[in-house]
Amino acid sequence: MATTEIVAQTAPFGPSAIENAQDAEIAGEATLSAFLDNGDGFDAGIIACFSDPGLDACKQSLSYPVVGIAEASIAEASILRGRFSIVTVAPTTIAPIRALVEKYGKTRQLASVRAHDQGVLGAHSDVDGTIAAFRELIDKAVHEDGAEIIILGGAVTAGMKRELQPTSPVPILDGLDCAIRYAEKLHSSRA
């Protein structure tokens, strides 16, 4: 049985957190640079940022498939065929997230985008507080917005599903998990 080896890379420049369009633009350039600087020795690539910065440029420039965590989690939510809400950590990302959902053609399935007013760096430094806030946001998304699936929006949320799923009345998708599955599938289909 094959195993997946994950090699993490950090972009050589860019903002410490992506919370607006300017951050995403700079991060897109940095992301492409990181992929190009690290060669073609990979079977697939994942952009672990919910704005999927540089995804289109990476897909055009690299010889292997590249997926973004927003792209992958939205695709998986659409396969599950339920209305989904995205829960994230920065209110400034709500409009760009809505734009991504529209770009990926899934606006009709979107129930809502809800954000904890903490920001990416704040979420990193207060994981327990973020999880507590997300419980409330998930409850509102389900009961007020009609969400049938929750997507955790952001790399900072990776792994939080373990804490949140037991108290959630609906399935929760972790974007990084979705991206790994999607990248593995794309690689397998090319092999």
In this structure, the answer to whether residues 163 and 135 fall within a common structural domain is yes
**pLDDT at residue 191 in the model:** 62
Q: What is the pTM of this model?
A: 0.92
In this structure, the answer to whether residues 79 and 166 fall within a common structural domain is yes
In this structure, the answer to whether residues 74 and 168 fall within a common structural domain is yes
In this structure, the answer to whether residues 170 and 182 fall within a common structural domain is no
In this structure, the answer to whether residues 37 and 119 fall within a common structural domain is no
Structure-block tokens of residue 155: 């790399």
In this structure, the answer to whether residues 41 and 75 fall within a common structural domain is no
Residue with tokens 């092999």: 191
Is residue 16 domain-resident? no
Q: d(Cα 96, Cα 88) in Å, to the nearest integer?
A: 12
Phi, psi of 65 (to 5 degrees): -70, 145
In this structure, the answer to whether residues 75 and 169 fall within a common structural domain is yes
Walk along the chain (191 residues) and give the pLDDT tens digit of each residue: 368 888 888 888 998 888 888 888 999 999 999 999 987 789 999 999 999 999 999 999 999 999 999 999 999 999 998 999 999 998 999 999 999 999 999 999 999 999 998 877 767 678 889 999 999 999 999 999 999 999 999 888 989 999 999 999 999 999 999 999 999 999 888 76
In this structure, the answer to whether residues 132 and 169 fall within a common structural domain is yes
Cβ neighbours, 10 Å, residue 16: 9
In this structure, the answer to whether residues 166 and 103 fall within a common structural domain is yes
Is residue 13 domain-resident? no
Is residue 9 domain-resident? no
In this structure, the answer to whether residues 124 and 165 fall within a common structural domain is yes
Total domain count for the chain? 2
Q: What range defines the domain where residue 25 resides?
A: 21-68+178-190
Cβ neighbours, 10 Å, residue 114: 23
